[in-house]
Structure 1
Amino acid sequence: MGYHKPPPFALELGGQLCDKFEDDFGDLYGYKGLDYNLWCRGTEELVFSKLRTEVVTKLCRRVVLLTSYDGDKRSFACTGYLIKWHKKGTPVILTSASLIRSSDNESKINEKFKIDVFLPPNQHATGTLELYHSDYNIAVISVQPRLRCIHPENIFHGEKGRKKVVAIGREVEDGVLMGTIGFVPDKPYDKPRNLDCKDLKLSTCKIKKAGIGGPLVNFIDGSYAGMNFYDGTRKTPYLPRRIIAEVLSKTDLPSQIGMSQPINIMNESAVKNRWPVPKPYWYHPSFGATPRGCPKVPPPNL
């Protein structure tokens, strides 16, 4: 899975891997054909039962799981959101450029990663990188073959106000929807702790790494409010829809203008923002207090 091997005796003595892609967050929403009970894994937040039925249906047809591979080795896993491109209405996937950043050097983009797209219950497709913006950490992915029964959103028109919001992601192992409810403060005095992009805002939703690139949506109608990121803190940084639409509306899809290579919207020499993602690490309970984000495991009987 691309993780480092555990230290000697870590597993035998109750060690665990923290900040991994497989961590769930919030309420879980399954799909037809899933063969196990989600109640034992989700929280008591009951997000999806609070949302309108039509909102949940749209999210099921818009939110995808993305996995990038360097050869046969998994590099990254995150969430993507199906949108209508501003020209011709072509469905594409909007996500975080962390998906295609080099695992050896996070400041470098690897345009040759293989990208797998999963839309439950059984649609797998190959993703192709079309565009990316290094400074805002945005990537646009096209899909072949095209996904069926989708409901992409037009994010380039009709933005609405937001206060009560929901952060959505796809679980990495089975692709179930994950969601958590929060608010966007009227006057956000604090800024993201570990990300330095000045245009980022904060919501009180709490997500995990698999939620990177996923949508922050309005609670009432499910409309897109922004793209979520993860920095390991108790709040979720997100890039507002207005910024994303402004950046993407100035360019074309390479595949629509006869180009076979992805386009870097941003001049690399002008990149100012860093987008670190918390690294997975092995933790042993004998070393002290349980770190944030790790489940509590009783110390071994020695």
Structure 2
Amino acid sequence: MKTIYRIKSLGYPMPPPLVLEFNGELVHQFEDRFGELLAWRGYPFGAPPNDTFGCVWGKLEKQVVTNISRSVVSLASINRDHSRSFACTGLLIEWQGRAKRKCTVVLTSASLVRGRDNEDNVDKNLRIEVFLPPNQRCDGTLELYNMQYNIAIVSIKNRFNAIRPADILCKEMEVSPEKVVAIGRDTIHGLLMGTTGQVKSNNKDCKLNCKELQCSTCNITKAGIGGPLIGFDGSFVGMNFYDGSDVTPFLPRLVIFNLLRGVVNSRIPSESGEYPMRILDDFMVGEKYRWPVPEPYWYHGELDVDMDELPKFIGRILN
């Protein structure tokens, strides 16, 4: 009964008969981790399991790792029935505001608040939770969004301590580094996840139709959606997405800069009571972009029968 309740509370479909009893697997879940795991100071559950120990965090300077650990958060959107709708990663960034009144907001994917019945609309009934380990957790408010380019700006209700918000809007994008690191925040305990790769010269392997997307060879999971792609020097390269392919699509920093530069010097919409507001993208025209996320499903290899492998049974021939 506890297992069934947990599955429902996490927003997953119920398993078919026998799949759960025979230890079936839930594919494309938000709890799937990737890359090398990094625990926060005081983590009480021992060293996290790592198949790629030393492949990521040991290659980055200590200051870069510190900045990442204090700026990358996990987010979840919660339905009215208290079940989870979506989970992803976000990046704390500096917001200039009016009269240079800086504040900290979260840059993440608009999939966090996208309506299930109409993907072009925001589900305003969702409650947003923001978590920065080890114990900073609060509600978030959707301030700005753009469904065409799948980005969202979320403000945090409480002031987080000891944070290092990234300044990604200070200037336009420079040349992207060839070697990059995709970052995510684990949805269970808030472990940092990191995996390295290279920026590809094209996006032909990407399943998403956004023409401005680039791709890296980093291998992430759904939990890494909305997380930052950075260079080895800590520079922000773009925001990651997940389409179930062998590459990781990301929205380049320049595109994000162009979307936000018209509003970054304004106060956040909740201060005026008019929120959330759509970020205009009139400078970018073309086809409508779709951002499907692989749906979770139950799988068990022993119960997956190939019809071609079934033996043929020939009955008795009656004269």
- Do these two structures clear the TM 0.5 threshold for a shared fold by scoring above it? yes
Give the AA of the match of 1:265. Answer: I
Provide the residue aligned with 2:211 in structure 1: 198
Q: Note if 1:129 corresponds to 2:138.
A: no
Moved more, 112-121 or 30-39: 30-39
The correspondence of residues 87-126 of structure 1 with structure 2, limited to 5 A, is 87=97, 88=100, 89-126=102-139
What is the deviation of 1:140? Answer: 0.1
Gaps of at least 5 residues in structure 1 are: 290-302
What is the deviation of 1:42? Answer: 4.8
Q: Percent identity?
A: 47
Provide the residue aligned with 1:275 in structure 2: 291
Q: Note if 1:79 corresponds to 2:118.
A: no
Q: Note if 1:63 corresponds to 2:78.
A: no
Provide the residue aligned with 1:33 in structure 2: 42
| Contact kept in structure 2, 1:180 and 1:207, CA below 8 Å | yes
Q: Note if 1:4 corresponds to 2:20.
A: no
Provide the residue aligned with 1:294 in structure 2: none
Give the AA of the match of 2:36. Answer: D
Give the AA of the match of 2:123. Answer: N
Larger Rg: 2
The total of aligned residue pairs comes to 286
User: 1: CA distance between counterparts of 2:222 and 2:83?
Assistant: 18
| Contact kept in structure 2, 1:67 and 1:78, CA below 8 Å | yes
Report the RMSD for the aligned CA atoms in angstroms. 2.1
Partner SS for 2:209: coil
Provide the residue aligned with 2:255 in structure 1: 243
Q: Note if 1:14 corresponds to 2:20.
A: no
What is the deviation of 1:172? Answer: 0.5
What is the deviation of 1:212? Answer: 0.1
Q: Note if 1:230 corresponds to 2:242.
A: yes
Give the AA of the match of 1:163. Answer: E
Give the AA of the match of 2:70. Answer: R
User: 2: CA distance between counterparts of 1:118 and 1:39?
Assistant: 19
Provide the residue aligned with 2:279 in structure 1: 265
Q: Note if 1:143 corresponds to 2:159.
A: no
Gaps of at least 5 residues in structure 2 are: 1-9, 307-319
What is the deviation of 1:91? Answer: 0.9
Q: In structure 2, which of residues 269, 272, 296 is the aligned counterpart of residue 255 of structure 1?
A: 269
Partner SS for 2:65: helix
Partner SS for 1:217: strand
CA, structure 1 residues 59+33, in 2 after alignment: closer, same or farther (shift >3 Å)? same
Partner SS for 1:125: strand
CA, structure 1 residues 107+202, in 2 after alignment: closer, same or farther (shift >3 Å)? same
User: 1: CA distance between counterparts of 2:103 and 2:286?
Assistant: 30
| Contact kept in structure 2, 1:229 and 1:238, CA below 8 Å | yes
User: 2: CA distance between counterparts of 1:288 and 1:203?
Assistant: 35
Give the AA of the match of 2:192. Answer: L
| Contact kept in structure 1, 2:107 and 2:152, CA below 8 Å | yes
Provide the residue aligned with 2:57 in structure 1: 48
CA offsets 1:122-179 (integer angstroms, 9 cap, x no match): 0001100000001000000000111111111111124443111000000000011000
| Contact kept in structure 2, 1:26 and 1:43, CA below 8 Å | yes
